[in-house]
Amino acid sequence: MIEEELVAGLPLVEELPEPTGKLYHAKAVAACAFVGGPLGAAYLLAHNYFSVGEEEAGRKAILWGIAATVILMLLLLLLPLQVIDKLPTYLLPAIESGACYLLAQRLQAVYVQDHVGLNGKLQSRWRAAGVGLVSAALTIVIAIALLPFLP
């Protein structure tokens, strides 16, 4: 009896409006991170947060992406060249990509599943890769701008 009253007030799934906008799947976030680093991945995470109405989380995602990019740049600048030369070129992007995939899964899998479950659309991974290219270019410009300030 009580359950029927509670359920009666809830909208049926068929009654819920189809979501507007497109979200990025964790695999798209990983692809973006592989191409463009943490800054691009953070942008995609922020896009998802903004799309579901979590503006504060979106702003935090951008700030964390900037912080991760700066920390990564500093680490690469502080490592001796002998160490950097011995690392496989794909290692850093692979680690970034895996970490961003796990982060996106942990933080946003429920949003994406609910969105898709209500017939919401996903952004293409090609678009995510494009964001990654822009992010890579921006990261390179920032690194070049910081070169005169290095010891």
pLDDT for position 142: 84
Structure tokens belonging to residue 91: 């290692």
Instruction: Give domain status of residue 71, yes or no.
Output: yes
Q: How far is CA 107 from CA 9, 58, 61, 114, 118, in A?
A: 29, 12, 11, 13, 19
* pLDDT of 85 above 70: yes
Residue matched to tokens 């890769």: 129
Record the pTM.
Answer: 0.83
Instruction: Give domain status of residue 8, yes or no.
Output: no
Instruction: Give domain status of residue 11, yes or no.
Output: no
Instruction: Give domain status of residue 10, yes or no.
Output: no
Domain total of the chain: 1
Instruction: Give domain status of residue 141, yes or no.
Output: yes
Instruction: Give domain status of residue 15, yes or no.
Output: no
Mean pLDDT (the chain) is: 88
Instruction: Give domain status of residue 12, yes or no.
Output: no
pLDDT for position 40: 97
pLDDT for position 3: 57
* pLDDT of 1 above 80: no
The string of pLDDT tens digits covering residues 128-140 is 999 999 999 999 9
**90: helix, coil or strand?**
coil
The string of pLDDT tens digits covering residues 46-78 is 999 999 999 999 999 999 999 999 899 888 888
Range of the domain at 110: 20-149
Instruction: Give domain status of residue 134, yes or no.
Output: yes
